[in-house]
């Protein structure tokens, strides 16, 4: 049925009312946020932004990039021509689902029916058991702290976007505990630790609205990592920081959602529109041997638990990683990382070829930053 002129006027009035309600809600919630932030600072609480309404000014429609309005505690695109304007975005457990399902691999019906549950079993092991079997990330705590220090020095009220934040990454705890930064977290499933449910291929944030991005053990599990890095570049402010940790010689861990691996040079090309300040690896050749032994034993015994038990005599090999911070260590590292800043002009293919010879200096720079 065709809309009448009166319908159009009503729609415009409704849109204007929604925008006014958005501003009122934002002011009220920001006031509450400041009060709760003071409380969390005194109690050492998390600096995670749990209510997306508090950052409505930073959010954007994943379909058209237009601004969002808060309509009865749900997000709606304000652009009249946008396909997402007709009705608010879905919400799961109080978390807005800011996904353009027409362009995403995520199925709308499935995510709604499951209440936003992860398609994979993400039950946590005992922290002690996990540390013994899988070790820990020795690079991320240092770069999390460096990221915080840089933002606190150069920015006012800095915000860190954690992509793949359904769980806190190994060694990333400081991001959620430091009072000087705020964390906005997203993942493709609902979790108490996410601010919004979103697809990283179409980030629901305005251009230049984020100070830093943390993406740890995520990009190898995405269909189009280059599109996600391009989105990171779009939403970062000029000179915005990024820390990315990916897999190279690492076995399949995310089952149906494990697609890509990166050498150090491949990771540099992925972040070619960023200046590199440091590169290195969070897991070295010793860890690679342990992983290979574990998967070999699990394959032979046809049992994951027995295979993990058979690996115990070899766990000490991970200790050798700390002595492998050199050229050959980088070549065989299971998990390289990148730390850098947004730039306007990318490197060229010829510069990428030359980059291999620059890697030892960057490894040394990473060690200096961690010391």
128 φ/ψ angles, rounded to the nearest 5 degrees: -65, -45
Buried b (16+ CB within 10 A) or exposed e, 160-184: bbbbbbbbbbbbbebbbbbeebbbb
Query: Is residue 299 within a helix (H) or strand (E), and if so which, with residue range?
Result: helix 285-301
Instruction: pLDDT band for 46, please (50, 70, 90 cuts).
Output: low
C-alpha pair distances (Å), 93 with each of 85, 97, 114? 22, 10, 12
More confident residue, 35 or 291: 291
User: Scanning the structure block, which residue is given the tokens 């992925």?
Assistant: 270
Read off the pLDDT of residues 293-319 as tens digits, 9 standing for 90 and up: 999 999 999 999 999 999 999 999 999
Q: What value, to the nearest 5°, has the Cα angle with vertex 31 and ends 174 and 69? A: 90
125 exposed, middle or buried (CB, 10 Å; 0-12, 13-18, 19+)? exposed
Weakest mean pLDDT among 70-74, 80-84, 255-259: 70-74
Mean pLDDT of 36-61: 71
- Rounded to whole angstroms, the Cα distance separating 157 from 211 reads 9
Q: Residue 121 — very low, low, confident or very high, per pLDDT cuts 50/70/90?
A: confident
Q: CA of 22: how far to CAs of 30, 289, 316, in Å?
A: 12, 54, 56
pLDDT tops 60 at residue 174: yes
Residue 185 has pLDDT above 70, yes or no: yes
- CB distance 183 to 160 below 8 Å: yes
Q: pLDDT band for 38, please (50, 70, 90 cuts).
A: very low
Instruction: Tell me which of 25-29, 118-122, 238-242 is least confident.
Output: 25-29
Higher local confidence (pLDDT), 371 or 133: 133
Instruction: List the structure tokens of 312.
Output: 């115990």
Please check the confidence at residue 365 and state whether its pLDDT lies above 70: yes
Higher pLDDT, 286 or 370: 286
| DSSP per-residue string spanning 196-226 | EEE-GGG--B-TT-EEEEEEES-GGGSS-HH
- Could you give the C-alpha distances from 193 to 47, 132, 168, in angstroms and in order? 11, 25, 8
Question: Which pLDDT does position 127 carry in this prediction?
Answer: 77
**Residues 215, 243: contact at Cβ < 8 Å?**
yes
Phi and psi, residue 97, nearest 5°: -100, 90
Does residue 31 register a pLDDT over 50?
Answer: no
Average pLDDT over residues 142-151: 96
- Joined tokens for residue 217: 């053990």
| DSSP state letter for 365 | H
Which of 81, 99, 104, 80 is closest to 89 using CA atoms? 99
pLDDT at 371: 64
Instruction: Using pLDDT thresholds of 50, 70 and 90, give the confidence band for residue 151.
Output: very high
Token pair 């920001």 in the structure block, residue: 30
> How crowded is residue 193: how many other Cβ atoms within 10 Å of its Cβ?
17
Share of the chain above pLDDT 90, in %: 74
What pLDDT is recorded for position 12? 42
Strand 95-98 relative to strand 196-198: parallel, antiparallel, unpaired?
Answer: parallel
What value does the mean pLDDT take over residues 54-82? 92
For 143, the 3-state DSSP assignment is helix
Phi, psi of 184 (to 5 degrees): -110, 120
Does 151 or 33 have the greater pLDDT score?
A: 151
């Amino acid at each position: 049925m065709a809309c009448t002129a009166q319908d159009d006027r009503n729609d415009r009035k409704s849109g204007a009312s929604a925008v006014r309600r958005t501003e009122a809600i934002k002011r009220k919630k920001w006031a509450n946020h400041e009060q709760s932030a003071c409380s969390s600072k005194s109690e050492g609480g998390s600096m995670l932004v749990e209510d997306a309404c508090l950052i409505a000014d930073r959010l954007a429609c994943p379909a058209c990039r237009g601004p969002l309005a808060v309509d009865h505690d749900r997000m709606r695109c304000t652009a009249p021509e946008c396909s997402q304007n007709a009705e608010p975005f879905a919400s799961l457990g109080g978390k807005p689902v800011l996904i353009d399902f027409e362009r995403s691999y995520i199925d709308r019906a499935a995510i709604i029916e499951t209440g936003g549950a992860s398609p994979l079993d993400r039950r946590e092991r005992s922290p002690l058991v996990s540390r013994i079997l899988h070790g820990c990330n020795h690079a991320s705590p240092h770069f999390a702290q460096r990221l915080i220090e840089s933002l606190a020095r150069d920015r006012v009220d800095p915000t860190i976007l954690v992509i793949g934040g359904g769980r806190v990454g190994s060694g990333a705890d400081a991001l959620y505990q430091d009072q000087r930064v705020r964390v906005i977290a997203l993942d493709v499933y609902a979790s108490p630790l996410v601010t919004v449910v979103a697809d990283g291929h179409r980030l629901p944030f305005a251009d230049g609205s984020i100070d830093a991005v943390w993406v740890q053990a995520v990009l190898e599990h995405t269909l189009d990592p280059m599109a996600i890095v391009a989105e990171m570049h779009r939403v970062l402010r000029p000179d915005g920081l990024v820390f990315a940790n990916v897999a190279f010689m690492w076995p399949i861990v995310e089952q149906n959602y494990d697609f890509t691996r990166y050498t150090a040079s491949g990771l540099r090309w992925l972040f070619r529109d960023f200046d590199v300040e440091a590169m290195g690896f969070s897991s070295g050749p010793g860890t690679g041997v342990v992983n290979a032994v574990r998967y070999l034993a699990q394959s032979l015994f046809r049992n994951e638990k027995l295979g993990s038990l058979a690996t115990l005599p070899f766990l000490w090999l991970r200790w050798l990683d700390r002595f492998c911070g050199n050229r050959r260590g980088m070549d065989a590292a299971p998990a390289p990382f990148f730390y850098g800043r947004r730039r306007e002009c990318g490197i060229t293919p010829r510069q990428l070829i030359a980059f291999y010879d620059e890697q030892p200096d960057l490894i040394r720079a990473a060690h200096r930053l961690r010391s």
